[in-house]
Chains A and B, each alone.
Chain A
Amino acid sequence: MTAPLNLPCPISPDDGPVVLLGHGGGGLLSQRLLQQVILPALGTTDGVLLDAATLKTEGGELAFSTDGHVVRPLEFPGGDIGSLAVFGTVNDLAMLGATPLALSLGLILEEGLPLSTLSRLLRSAAAAADRCGVSVVTGDTKVVEKGKADGLFMTTAGIGRIPAGVSIGPRAIRSGDVILVSGDLGRHGVAILAAREELGFSTSLASDLAPLHGSVQALLAAGLDLHALRDLTRGGLAAALHELCRDAGLGALVHEAEVPVHGAVASACELLGLDPFTMASEGRFVLMLPEAQAQEALKLLRRWQSGAAIIGRIGGEALLLETSLGVRRPLELGRGELLPRIC
């Protein structure tokens, strides 16, 4: 992979001296923050800090993950911050092929949050954990002054067990691998934008928020050789593919016409000047595996989501998109915060 990640300038002159909202958007700014500030400061030198890590123990391999959740509004069509916090961490574990074992839940509460809201959100988190067959075994609660938090922030961490012989990650990606997505893109991002009144548009779409470990376990049970998995959260498909390709040191070709996008997501994006490829999903992932197994994987994935599709193939040096008119161009990474444009 070449540009856009090898920009000559370090973060300070490009991005200014302070953290911007866009640094959390999953795009170029997020990647630079991680690579130029966070990883060096933590002394992590190989440049890879996956959403979940593998820990070798005597009893086998464990997956370990943590995630902070700051969604606004707290409740949105298709879910809320409670279910999001649980599924988000379960999904990070699932992307390593792991079965979730236990979760922790940290709460930062803002003074003034109605207790009825808090217990509703916690019941939702508990129901989500139940659905994933996992328990919340430890936690922490802090309260901050009014104005210091958006009602409530949640942090979850999770541990999962990786079955023997399973080793999923960007380094397993090979040239010729087929790329699949597990369903249509961007419903979560559009549902959240619509739920924020300031954008003044509405949609009947609900978030795609869902746990993913079930479908991953089915793929593994079928004996498929999963090379890499990545859930399509912040930054969407574009960010996931950029990261996976960069870490694999390979390019890819994606066919725009094959990428599933619901009509309502497409038209909301057109209206707001946003790109469905960079919109977040909370219940979708991208999968890379050998070509010979692609059809079987597709058949299995479609049991969960009818929109699952084969969208491209690994190969070459650059990450390219073939447009629906047959022209090839770079697949662009979103830049950061989603800003609807004027015309």
Chain B
Amino acid sequence: MSGSPPHRQRQEVQRLLDALHTETRRSWTLMEVCGGQTHAILRHGLDQLIPPQLELIHGPGCPVCVTAAETIDRALALAARPEVILCTYGDMLRVPGTGPSHLLEARANGADVRVITAPLDVLAVARSHPGRQVVFFAVGFETTAPATALLAHQAWSGGAQNLSLLVSHVRVPPAMEAILTAPECRVQGFLAAGHVCAVMGRTEYEPIAAQHRRPIVITGFEPLDLLEGMLRAVRQLERGEARVEDAYPRAGAGVGNASARALITKVFTRCDQHWRGLGMLPGSGLRLRPPYDALDAARRFPSAARPDTDTDTDTDTDTEGCISGLVLQGLARPDACPRFGRGCSPERPLGAPMVSAEGACAAYWRYRERT
């Protein structure tokens, strides 16, 4: 009893499952790019219902867990300043930096850290605290970048003196490229995240599909959406096709949102970005471009926040036994990790994919029985 009529949904699910079982004739591997998809697949147990020849590989797509540990350190350093109010999304609060501490702990120790769900709320915080410095720690894929861009634009044009941004937005296509060019790559097709495409459209995916000969199917996050996406990807693979296909038309994922894209281009420029677990990926980040870079927290607080591009260390993958690099590239499943449940858990994560609730290791932790 959760919204949609369960009986009809279950019948539809069965119809798609039957089609998948009849039409999957050979072994295929599909990667779902986004952590939200991984989460939904495990939560509903879809991986246990699909044909055994169809293997799902979990992608790197959780913007929270790929945020570089050094960036979290910067957020912690900013939050520690008495004049600063640090605003960010809720699930950033548990992510540790290079050490074990996180923003929740900083808050318990007296830092003013506030959870927001919409970046424009930060503007209101800044207005009501004229004597404080308000910093927005902005993370996320192309989905949340337009809202950050809007905040930056309004703050800049309104001449806000006490608002700045620590930006760590990441772009999905460079991560897909990186995964496909890794020599051990086993991914034969992608389920691309519908909410990213609802902003960006499909054009960035066309060259990836063509060049690497991989089908890319845009899907939503409900069981029916994901199964429909898998079915269409399998059909392409069985026929030897490699196209971008939109299995999520209700979100307008094919064309995207032109004004949101324009806003991103107006406020941000692409930059190389360090991903936790994947390393430095060229052109995979967004940073403020002039004149908006006047709002860069690194400028306002030079000692606490330097730009991300200075960093090319990879602190988290050094943790002994953690195979997060392999998990993030789809080369190993979380339950194959020797530290999974043995020293690594959501309360004390050793690597990126256990850090946020949507990381692949965390999804296995929550939804699979542990031995």
Contacts and interface: CB of A to CB of B under 8 A. Distances in A.
Interface string A136-160: 0000000000000000000000000
With a 10 A CB-CB cut-off, give which of B10, B46, B101, B347 has the most chain A CB atoms: B347
A324 B118 contact: no
Interface string A254-269: 0001111101001100
A343 B220 CA distance: 12
A169 interface: no
A80 B64 CA distance: 35
Nearest to A16: B105
B101 A342 contact: no
A343 B115 contact: no
Interface in A269-292: 272-273, 276
B366 to A, nearest CB: 5
B188 to A, nearest CB: 24
A341 interface: yes
Contacts of A22: 104
Contacts of B43: 323, 329
A325 B89 contact: no
Interface stretch (B92-100, B178-186, B230-238): B92-100
A113 interface: no
Interface residues of A, number: 51
Contacts of A18: 105, 108-109
A174 B42 CA distance: 31
B67 to A, nearest CB: 10
Contact of A335 (B115, B223, B346): B346
Contacts of A257: 1, 6
A75 interface: no
A327 B357 contact: no
Contacts of B107: 21
Given A3-B341, A257-B6, A327-B44, A332 B366 contact: yes
A266 B2 contact: yes
The majority secondary structure among interface residues of chain B is mixed
Contact of A200 (B63, B109, B117, B195): B117
Interface string B1-28: 1110010011001000000000000000
Interface stretch (B136-144, B307-315, B331-339): B136-144
B114 to A, nearest CB: 7
A19 interface: yes
B91 A327 contact: no
B104 A20 contact: yes
Contact of B91 (A259, A328, A339): A339
B228 interface: no
Interface stretch (A7-15, A36-44, A50-58, A211-219): A7-15
B45 A328 contact: yes
A272 B116 CA distance: 11
B95 to A, nearest CB: 11
A324 B345 contact: no
A14 B107 CA distance: 17
A9 B2 contact: no
Nearest to A19: B108
A22 B104 CA distance: 9
A197 to B, nearest CB: 9
A14 B13 CA distance: 40
Contacts, number: 136
B369 interface: yes
Given A13-B348, A330-B368, A340 B45 contact: no
Contact of A267 (B3, B34, B358, B368): B3
With a 10 A CB-CB cut-off, give which of A260, A273, A324, A325 has the most chain B CB atoms: A325
Contacts of B201: none
Interface in B142-189: 143-144
A343 B63 contact: yes
B204 interface: no
Contact of A340 (B10, B115, B348, B370): B115
Contact of B116 (A8, A198, A324, A325): A198
Contact of A28 (B3, B13, B347): B347
Contact of B144 (A198, A339, A342): A342
With a 10 A CB-CB cut-off, give which of B2, B89, B121 has the most chain A CB atoms: B2
Contact of B118 (A3, A200, A258): A200
Nearest to B47: A327
B49 interface: yes
Contacts of A338: 90
Interface in A181-202: 184, 198-201
A343 B358 contact: yes
Contact of A329 (B89, B104, B117, B367): B367
A340 B48 CA distance: 28
A281 to B, nearest CB: 15
B325 interface: no
B45 A342 contact: no
Nearest to A199: B117
Interface string B264-304: 00000000000000000000000000000000000000000
Interface string B313-350: 00000000000000000000000000001010111100
B254 interface: no
A3 B368 CA distance: 12
A67 interface: no
B2 A276 contact: yes
Contacts of A61: none
Contacts of B35: 343
8 contacts: A14-B348, A18-B105, A273-B91, A325-B45, A339-B91, A339-B93, A340-B115, A342-B89
3 closest A-B pairs by beta carbon, nearest first, are A327-B45, A339-B90, A266-B2
Interface of A: 2-4, 7-9, 13-16, 18-22, 28-29, 184, 198-201, 257-261, 263, 266-267, 272-273, 276, 318, 323-330, 332, 335, 337-343
Interface of B: 1-3, 6, 9-10, 13, 34-36, 42-46, 48-49, 63-64, 89-94, 100-101, 104-105, 107-109, 114-118, 121, 139-141, 143-144, 195, 223, 341, 343, 345-348, 356-358, 366-370
Given A272-B117, A343-B143, 8 more contacts: A7-B345, A8-B343, A198-B121, A325-B13, A327-B49, A339-B94, A342-B63, A342-B64
